[in-house]
Amino acid sequence: MIPFLDLHMVNLRFETEFKSKYEEFMNSGRYILGEQVDLFEKEFADFCGTLECIGVGNGLDALRLILEGYKSLGKLNPEDEVLVSSNTYIATILAIKQAGLIPVLVETDPQTYNFELSDLEDTLTKRTRAIMPVHLYGQISPMKEILAFASQYDLLVIEDAAQAHGALDTDGKLAGNLGHAAGFSFYPTKNLGALGDGGAITTNDSKLAEVVRKLRNYGTSSKYVNDILGFNSRLDELQAVFLRTKLPYLNADNKRRMEIAKRYLSEVENEKITLPVHTGETDHVFHLFVVRVKDRLEFMEYLKDNGIGTLIHYPIPPHKQQALEEYAHLSFPVCEQIHREVVSIPMSPVMMDNEVSRVISILNSY
């Protein structure tokens, strides 16, 4: 059996160092917002090329706290609108709603699965104040066009970089350093994954960073001094230990993912399977390798029978979720077709060449 993702094997590579670092953590006596979080924030900011990094509890909170931070700074107000792709994980939209803002969904480009750029103008209103591009599956959104659009209409650009750790755009900038601020997730399955929940915000805006540091910790500027109404969303000190251990290997892991993706793209030849569109640049770190097929259930059953693991990212588009029933009347044909057809096939930095060959052979025989 070739699993969709073998997290045990992904993390087994670091087991000895994890255990050593865990002992140091236990002996430190500092378990919340200690030295390890400080060091990880500096190291991840340096990695992304930003001035600031703030560790938070998870990726959803990262996006929400960016929006809450801009509200505290007076750059956003309740009921302001945020443009967001209709084709995303629901957390992107939840962050906007939980911050008291209004998500405005935009149709999906059938090639990139990101924004349909031609639809952005049509969704703009006098209440639009921000745009939230999603680097879906690990592929950077069309940021040049998005940034030009945002500049024209004076919009904040907030990256949902939860799946794109280390993705590099054509100008040599990394995901997390392409807009005004970015939210990352360190959920265990991510390219840079913790051994539990975790997230971070990157930005070059020192004022935003200052207010978000307060917001993540009850709104405090110092112990028991509360300047604003805040939250409890702090990157765990132990997860920072694990993330610091894995960060130096991220580029190598991404390179391996891209090598596997290159083989899939060049060696899978089956007219029943639609492969992702990719130019071969480093703007895609293949958090997921997502194909499309007309009969998804048959395809997944075929792969299961042949020992190939799969997952669906994601079976139901956000506007068709019961939790967002106020959007149920909307129609996004491209987005809806994508959600009916997508299947994620095995993608992992610890996949062996013979496993990749086996997946390719099974796909070509479908």
DSSP characters over 158-197: EEE-TT-TT-B-TTSPBTTSSSSEEEEE--TTSSS--SS-
Give the integer Cα–Cα distance in Å for 34 and 232. Answer: 15
Q: Is 232 exposed, middle or buried (0-12, 13-18, 19+ CB in 10 A)?
A: exposed
Q: At what angle do helices 35-48 and 15-28 cross, to 10 degrees?
A: 130
Q: What residue ranges of the chain are covered by domains with CATH 3.90.1150.10?
A: 249-364
Strands 156-160 and 128-132, by their bridges, are parallel
Give the integer Cα–Cα distance in Å for 53 and 284. Answer: 22
What is the reported pLDDT for 279? 83
Q: Which of 317, 320, 344, 290 lies closest to 87, judged by CA? A: 317
Q: Which of 209, 204, 212 lies closest to 51, judged by CA? A: 204
Sign of torsion over alpha carbons 107, 112, 115, 121:
negative
Give the integer Cα–Cα distance in Å for 145 and 148. Answer: 5
* Cβ contact 111:87 at 8 Å: no
pTM over 0.85: yes
Q: Which of 236, 228, 192, 194 lies closest to 212, judged by CA? A: 228
Q: Which two tokens stand for residue 308?
A: 């190939």
Q: Which two tokens stand for residue 198?
A: 């975790």
Render each residue's pLDDT in the chain as its tens digit; 366 residues.
Answer: 999 999 999 999 999 999 999 999 999 999 999 999 999 999 999 999 999 999 999 999 999 999 999 999 999 999 999 999 999 999 999 999 999 999 999 999 999 899 999 999 999 999 999 999 999 999 999 999 999 999 999 999 999 999 999 999 988 999 999 999 999 999 999 999 999 999 999 999 999 999 999 999 999 999 899 999 999 999 999 999 999 999 999 999 999 999 999 999 999 999 999 999 998 889 999 999 999 999 999 999 999 999 999 999 999 999 999 999 999 999 999 999 999 999 999 999 999 999 999 999 999 999
Tell me the HSE value of 142 on the side-chain side, using a 13 A CA sphere.
Answer: 18
Give the integer Cα–Cα distance in Å for 206 and 201. Answer: 12
Give the integer Cα–Cα distance in Å for 255 and 249. Answer: 10
* Amino acid in position 91: A
Give the integer Cα–Cα distance in Å for 17 and 15. Answer: 6
What is the CA 189 to chain-centroid distance, rounded?
11
The verdict on domain 7-106+114-247 having CATH code 3.10.20.30 is: no
Q: Which two tokens stand for residue 217?
A: 């910790």
Give the integer Cα–Cα distance in Å for 199 and 33. Answer: 13
Q: Which two tokens stand for residue 195?
A: 């051994």
Q: What residue ranges of the chain are covered by domains with CATH 3.40.640.10?
A: 7-106+114-247
Q: Which of 81, 85, 130, 87 lies closest to 105, judged by CA? A: 85
Give the integer Cα–Cα distance in Å for 131 and 133. Answer: 6
What is the reported pLDDT for 343? 98
DSSP 156: E
Q: Which two tokens stand for residue 191?
A: 């390219």
Q: Which residues in the chain belong to E strands, given as ranges?
A: 52-56, 81-85, 102-106, 128-132, 156-160, 181-185, 199-203, 220-222, 225-226, 289-292, 342-345
* Cβ contact 327:105 at 8 Å: yes
249-364 homologous superfamily: Aspartate Aminotransferase, domain 1 (3.90.1150.10)
What is the CA 257 to chain-centroid distance, rounded?
16
* Amino acid in position 150: A
Give the integer Cα–Cα distance in Å for 218 and 260. Answer: 44
* Cβ contact 92:61 at 8 Å: no
The label of the residue with tokens 């993390």 reads 11
